[in-house]
């Protein structure tokens, strides 16, 4: 009895079970794995390969899996309609995923977007597999890669139709190709924006508050100085700190520099889109100042013969920090941004 049951219902081998998975869904899974590895590893030498793998992942595959889940039956829609709808849906789905991530703690960054798109696509692959395998095998949609080119040609340029219909099909196909190529070009070669550099100072807790405003000469106050390069080129920056004594002139309604002495100087080199936050110990060695000026220069650093407001104006970016002298350590305190003025040029 047992042997007869086993003969009538032989176990399905893993290879036979694997062959039950539609070839297009297997190709999607392979593409997801390859694109995820290529993008996540970010090896510079593989940049062209990453572009080739990432563009279909963002422009075609998510929408194709949704279409595969909605239309599992062979003959629901033709092959060209599947790919056109896949392209349109992908353009709608991926930005919506990014919009949703914008309201999460992860934000719109490479890893969350990549992981979200891959997870969404995997869910759609499972749904497509479930809906497709629920149909009789002869009704399931399957791509026969060997005959796909001939089928696409027949859809675009039908042999049994007139010359006008064939020309119209060619024009439509060219329009679709131009649209896809334009979208790929816009994504792969983004327009270069306005070059700029970020320059900022942070308090001892790496936030825009708790700047020292009551200073004891000789005591160090931990801070951070940050520079972000968005110049579309590698740039060498020089950061200078100057101690100033300024007085406000009520007649001209401006601050006049009465004394200006150098304090510290450092240089850093940053690649495009690289940001460096540097620990900085702020200190004043003697009394007689009421303002610290932080100057950022790019490659053009003037000589020390340029001083005063001329040097400040010659800087690429400048920030200043106002302070007073405390009478003793017990009076040393910090203030938040509501009491402290940080001016960014």
Tens digits of residue pLDDT in 22-76: 888 889 999 999 888 887 776 655 567 777 788 888 888 999 999 999 988 887 8
Domain ranges of the chain: 12-188, 196-344
Identify the helix (H) or strand (E) that includes residue 2: helix 2-8
pLDDT at residue 342, rounded to an integer: 38
φ/ψ of 120, rounded to 5, equals -60, -45
Of 151, 176, 306, the closest CA to residue 242 belongs to: 306
pLDDT at residue 129, rounded to an integer: 92
pLDDT at residue 88, rounded to an integer: 86
Helix H, strand E, coil C: the string for 46-106 is HHHHHHHHHHHHHHCHHHHHHHHHHCCECCCCCHHHHHHHHHHHHHHHHHHHHHHHHCCCC
Contact 215, 325 (CB under 8 A): yes
Dihedral, CA of residue 230, residue 232, residue 238 and residue 241, to nearest 10: -20
CATH classification code of 196-344: 2.60.40.10
pLDDT at residue 14, rounded to an integer: 46
If you search the block for the tokens 């009520």, which residue do you land on?
250
Q: Which two tokens stand for residue 291?
A: 């303002």
pLDDT at residue 224, rounded to an integer: 92
Of 280, 264, 267, 196, the closest CA to residue 237 belongs to: 267
pLDDT at residue 77, rounded to an integer: 82
Beta bridge partners of 223: 280
Identify the helix (H) or strand (E) that includes residue 128: helix 110-133
Which segments of the chain have a pLDDT < 50? 1-7, 9, 12-18, 329-345
pLDDT at residue 1, rounded to an integer: 44
Distances from the Cα of 129 to the Cαs of 66, 122, 139, 227, in angstroms? 11, 10, 14, 50
Contact 201, 223 (CB under 8 A): yes
Contact 53, 35 (CB under 8 A): yes
pLDDT at residue 162, rounded to an integer: 65
Secondary structure class of 181 (helix, strand, coil): helix
pLDDT at residue 78, rounded to an integer: 78
């Amino acid at each position: 009895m047992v042997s007869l049951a086993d003969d009538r219902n032989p176990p399905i081998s893993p290879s036979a079970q694997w062959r039950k998975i539609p070839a297009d869904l297997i190709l999607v899974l392979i593409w997801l794995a390859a694109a995820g590895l290529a993008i996540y590893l970010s090896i510079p030498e593989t940049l062209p390969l990453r572009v080739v793998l990432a563009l279909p992942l963002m422009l075609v595959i998510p929408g194709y899996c949704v279409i595969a889940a909605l239309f599992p039956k062979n003959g629901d829609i033709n092959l060209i309609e599947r790919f056109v709808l896949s392209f349109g849906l992908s353009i709608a789905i991926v930005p919506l995923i990014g919009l949703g991530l914008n309201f999460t703690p992860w934000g719109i960054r490479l890893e969350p977007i990549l992981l979200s798109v891959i997870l969404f696509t995997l869910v759609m692959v499972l749904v497509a597999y479930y809906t497709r395998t629920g149909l009789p095998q002869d009704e399931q949609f399957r791509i026969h890669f060997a005959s796909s080119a001939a089928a696409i040609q027949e859809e675009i340029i039908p042999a049994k139709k007139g010359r006008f219909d064939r020309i119209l099909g060619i024009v439509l196909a060219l329009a679709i190709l131009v649209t896809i190529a334009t979208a790929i070009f816009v994504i792969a070669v983004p327009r270069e924006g306005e070059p700029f550099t970020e320059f900022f100072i942070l308090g001892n807790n790496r936030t825009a508050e708790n700047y020292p405003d009551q200073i004891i000469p000789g005591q160090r106050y931990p801070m951070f100085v940050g520079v972000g390069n968005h110049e579309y080129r590698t740039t060498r920056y020089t950061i200078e700190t100057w101690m100033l004594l300024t007085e406000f002139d009520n007649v001209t309604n401006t601050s006049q520099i009465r004394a200006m002495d150098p304090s510290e100087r450092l240089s850093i080199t940053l690649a495009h889109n690289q940001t460096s936050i540097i620990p900085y110990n702020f200190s004043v060695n003697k009394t007689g100042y009421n303002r610290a000026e932080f100057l950022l220069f790019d490659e053009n650093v003037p000589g020390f013969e340029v001083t005063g407001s001329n040097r400040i104006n010659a800087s690429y970016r400048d920030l200043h920090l106002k302070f007073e002298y405390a009478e003793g350590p017990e009076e040393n305190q910090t203030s938040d941004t509501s009491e402290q003025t940080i001016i960014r040029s």
